[in-house]
Chain A
Amino acid sequence: DIQMTQSPSSLSASVGDRVTITCRASLYISNYLTWFQQKPGKAPKSLIYAASSLQSGVPSRFSGSGSGTDFTLTISSLQPEDSATYYCQQYNSYPLTFGGGTKVEIK
């Protein structure tokens, strides 16, 4: 199985800050990576697919980059509504696997 390692596991940042979350795959996954946002009591929401493609309706302050084994989710200017847990998931091969999550809090 492909292991997905996310870092950090949590972070606290101020409104307007640039925030970066990383995800590393244990094997090569090309660009088959999705980033999800999950707020408490809600289903996950897809933000980015194919490592860098923005899902329809997602604010442009979210961006993704990377290919192969190393990936990054960036929030260019953190907003209060971005307080959530973020997960990466590889869909290069079964079983699909998720990172452990990064909890983003607003200072």
Chain B
Amino acid sequence: QVQLVQSGAEVKKPGASVKVSCKASGYKFTNYGITWVRQAPGQGLEWMGWISPYTDNTNFAQKFQGRVTMTTDTSTNTAYMELRSLTSDDTAMYYCAREMAVTGTDYWGQGTLVTVSS
């Protein structure tokens, strides 16, 4: 069965960086994109960006341009999202999800809570 398993919760200080991993299983990793979405406490869903494990092409939301890096490792079927220059506004649950152009986003990881606090 399709599974996306994310790394554990992180606590970071303002100005630091965080790198979240997302290990995929149960499907051919390079056949689907990986999208990253975050959700601040009590708020809605916010799309951050997308990466193709097949081509390494990426597309980011403008507000994260220059501050986010998305990569994949096809040898371990793992996607990574690194966010730099963290502020308290980045405190949120971060999700990875599988995406395909025709069917959209279907399977989601369990989420990784990132807390930014001094």
Give residues in A with beta carbon < 8 Å to B.
32-34, 36, 38, 43-46, 49-50, 53, 55, 87, 89, 91, 94-101
Contact = CB atoms under 8 A, between A and B. Distances in A.
Given A53-B103, A98-B45, A101-B44, 5 more contacts: A55-B106, A89-B47, A91-B99, A98-B47, A101-B45
A43 B108 contact: yes
Nearest to B95: A43
B contact patch SS: strand
Interface of B: 35, 37, 44-47, 50, 59-62, 95, 97, 99, 101-111
A50 B110 CA distance: 24
B59 A95 contact: yes
Given A44-B108, A95-B62, A96-B35, A50 B103 contact: yes
Nearest to B106: A46
